[in-house]
Structure 1
Amino acid sequence: MQNINVVNIDPNEYKNTADGAMNEARRQLEVCNACRYCESFCSVFPAVNRERAFSEATITQLANLCHNCRGCHYACQYTAPHDFGINIPKVLAEVRQNSWQENATPGFMARAFHRSGAALSVAVVVGFAVLLWLINQLPQSLNSGTGEGFYAFLSHNAMITIFIPAFLLPILAIAISVRRYWRNVGGTALQLSDIKAALASAGKMRNLAGGSGEGCNFEDEDRFSNARRWYHQATMSGFLLCFAATSAGTLMHYLFDMQAPYSLFTLPKMVGLSGGILLCIGTLGLGYLKLQADPDLADRRVWGGEMGFIILLFLVSSTGLALYLLAASPWLAELLALHLGSVLAFFVLMPFSKMVHGFYRLAALLREQQLQQSR
């Protein structure tokens, strides 16, 4: 083990600002890089030990590569009450959140969501649900909701007019944000091999398996568990299946003139139901683990935003499943308004919610592949 010679700084004294978090992260990472005891406790820690100096670009990249598994913290001999006060999960979480907020467009919306995301999510969902319900109450000459299924309550043209911009504009905002991040961390032109390796790592949630492959210590310091990895996979798979169901329905509508509603044994319905169930399971599991985890090993400022994102995804999936189960209910119009309001809120808030972490994480994995190839 190398000799460790660093200036002792009270970790509680640094200000919770972008510069303060960055400087504190650099101090702690220098201690970690000298010690290297935790290299086998985290699947991404070798990326820390590979570095000789920590620029802002390097720290930002490492923060977005980190999965907050907390294995390094529980194995560390320099955590509080030691004078070094090492808390890598917390300080990297702060740097990570700052990188999302600084690159977001507009930034003030990201800061507002990360600060009060749970309350903001519920308010936006209710607001959009009421608005859509009111549209449904318009005269037929204005709404023309005379089709079958959803279209009996909200016309196809109205849905297209509302949801296409609500989806495309946030995607554009996320693309701008991730492009800024890519430039900030020194990303270069991608090779096909880098893309394949990063997608494989993201799909398997490999870094959530911990250094030993037995999982992480997110919810219990004394026990390794793959629960967080499984719930992440359920959430990601459920979301992708729901998106695939919507895409299949769109193609069937426009290419084959097969309009909704669809029967149970059709591609949109089977894929959508499977995705909705997985998404419900994943979000409920992640929410439960979040409540069980130690808040001092995360960025306390954004607890509401992280829970808000989970609430949004759960509302989208649960109201979608409820629509199928209660299709004959007299409250169908209100339930449909709540579901569409949840979907619309999810789209509009997407660039400012933790949804961006999936894009940033993939970018960090791509950059990591480049860095490995260059060494």
Structure 2
Amino acid sequence: MSTPALIDLTRQARALANAPFAHAGAAEAEVARVLQICNACRYCEGFCAVFPAMTRRLDFPAADVHYLANLCHNCGACLHACQYAPPHEFAVNVPQAMARVRGQTYTTHAWPPALGMLYQRNGLVVALALLAALAAFLAGGVVVQGGWAGLWQAPAGANFYSVFPHHLLVSLFLPVFAWVVLALGLGLRRFWRGITPVTGAVPPAGPAQADAAHDVLTLKHLDGGHGDGCHEADEAYTLWRRRLHHLTFYGFGLCLAATGVATLMHYVLGQPAPYDLPSLPKLLGGVGGLSLLVGSLGLGLLRWRRHPLHGDAAQKPMDLGFIALLALSAGSGLALWAARGQPAMPALLCGHLGAVMALFLTMPYGKFAHGLYRSAALLRHHVERRLPNPIGLGAD
């Protein structure tokens, strides 16, 4: 395709894709302003994927701003390298401007949007209230069946199914899981359609998918562009944010794998729970739970101590709500493992199941959705960088 034809296609596609963003807000306008300045400077061109993507544009409509905001990993390197950062009169703060737009995308593209708005504004309160309500509901079921003593009495058989039968747990969690898949799928679909004005007509090819998967699984862009890491509370470089993200991500994956393996063993191999060491579900769940607990607590500490210029302070309750549910799900799961056959096991089981259900129900409206949106943005980036640069000035 010739360059003039590509430019014309780009303009037409952008006009169509940006129709839903005709009334761009102040956050999108601020990103457009700072990127216009960055496009003239380009000192940070090699830091991450945002700046090469930026150089393919002369203007920044809201759809492209949503794409670039989710491409940003908020490592903070560009803020500390920028000669126009606050207190300069230009007040260029790319990480903070991007973070504010990124938070808006969680509600703009969430399905249904009203739930996204509720969680964004009151994330920590909603998370803990939902956990408490679900745990109380489950505890109420135990009390109805066996009285208050049933919460503090070792059940016969010393396993979870003595408290909640297997078919009851399936009937509780299957609708929750189906809802999460539906809401995440529709949200991701809305986001992908909204950020593809240039590459919408170009389906992702295998090499682009492989490069995007590599960037996602290695968290490549949390190295600050030079391998030394991110900035957190000050100008010092650290790789802790990348390491803790890995512990959290892969710990969560191992916990899901443990559940999947246990399901196969139950329904396919005819080996019902509970499982003992050294069974595969127990090994995967134990390692995954410990990794998830350490990673989430570490990320919570970093989030609490992070310099206010590095992000959007208004999102702290949402971030801490998600982190709290991750940590409580992992911690209660490990405690439940240790308390098997003990009098506290029924009460711990209610708390653990409440934490897991609350975590899943809030997934489509906060930081978990952010992981999917960022993966989609990276995929678009690797598709886009294989196309001719429409303005001929980029560093790809």
Cα deviation for residue 219 of structure 1 reads: 3.3
Show the 5 A alignment for 1:144-293: 149-186=159-196, 187-188=199-200, 189-221=203-235, 223-293=236-306
Picking from 340, 344, 356, the partner of 1:343 is 356
- Percent of residue pairs bearing the same amino acid type: 39
Query: Which stretches in structure 2 are left out of the alignment for 5+ residues?
Result: 1-22, 147-154, 389-396
Distance across 2 between alignment mates of 1:286 and 1:42: 21
Picking from 39, 43, 52, the partner of 1:46 is 52
Which aligned runs of 4 or more in structure 1 are off by greater than 3 angstroms?
40-44, 145-148
Distance across 2 between alignment mates of 1:42 and 1:160: 43
Q: 1:263-306: per-residue Cα shift (whole Å, max 9, x none)?
A: 11001000010000100110011011111111233122211000
Q: 1:183-238: per-residue Cα shift (whole Å, max 9, x none)?
A: 111153222222211111111110101111111113331x1111100000000000
Distance across 1 between alignment mates of 2:379 and 2:160: 40
Q: Name the residue aligned to 1:4.
A: none
Structure 1 stretch displaced more, 240-249 or 107-116: 107-116
* Greater RCO structure (CA 8 Å; 6+ sep): 2
Q: TM-score, normalised by structure 1?
A: 0.91
Structure 1 stretch displaced more, 155-164 or 293-302: 293-302
- Relative distance call for 1:52 and 1:18 in structure 2 (3 A) is closer
Q: Is the 8 A contact 1:43 1:211 kept in 2?
A: no
Q: Which amino acid aligns with 1:74?
A: H
Cα deviation for residue 374 of structure 1 reads: 1.1
Q: Which amino acid aligns with 2:222?
A: L
Show the 5 A alignment for 1:345-360: 345-360=358-373
SS in 2 for 1:330: coil
Distance across 1 between alignment mates of 2:74 and 2:158: 47
Distance across 1 between alignment mates of 2:378 and 2:286: 31
Q: Which amino acid aligns with 1:197?
A: D
CA RMSD of aligned residues (A): 1.7
Distance across 1 between alignment mates of 2:250 and 2:233: 22
Q: Please state if 1:97 is matched with 2:97.
A: no
Task: Name the count of aligned residue pairs.
Answer: 354
Q: Please state if 1:328 is matched with 2:328.
A: no
Q: Is the 8 A contact 2:248 2:291 kept in 1?
A: yes
Q: 1:144-167: per-residue Cα shift (whole Å, max 9, x none)?
A: x98761111011111111100101
Distance across 1 between alignment mates of 2:81 and 2:26: 25
Structure 1 stretch displaced more, 247-256 or 295-304: 295-304
Q: Which amino acid aligns with 1:177?
A: G
Distance across 2 between alignment mates of 1:68 and 1:120: 25
Q: Name the residue aligned to 1:6.
A: none
Show the 5 A alignment for 1:62-77: 62-77=68-83
Q: Name the residue aligned to 1:126.
A: 132
Q: 1:32-65: per-residue Cα shift (whole Å, max 9, x none)?
A: 0101112234454322233332222221111000
Q: Is the 8 A contact 1:41 1:75 kept in 2?
A: no
Q: Is the 8 A contact 1:44 1:207 kept in 2?
A: no
Q: Is the 8 A contact 1:26 1:59 kept in 2?
A: yes
Distance across 2 between alignment mates of 1:305 and 1:62: 21
Distance across 2 between alignment mates of 1:205 and 1:219: 20
Distance across 1 between alignment mates of 2:30 and 2:128: 35
Q: Which amino acid aligns with 1:323?
A: L
Query: Which stretches in structure 1 are left out of the alignment for 5+ residues?
Result: 1-16
Q: 1:319-342: per-residue Cα shift (whole Å, max 9, x none)?
A: 000011121321110000000000
Structure 1 stretch displaced more, 237-246 or 208-217: 208-217
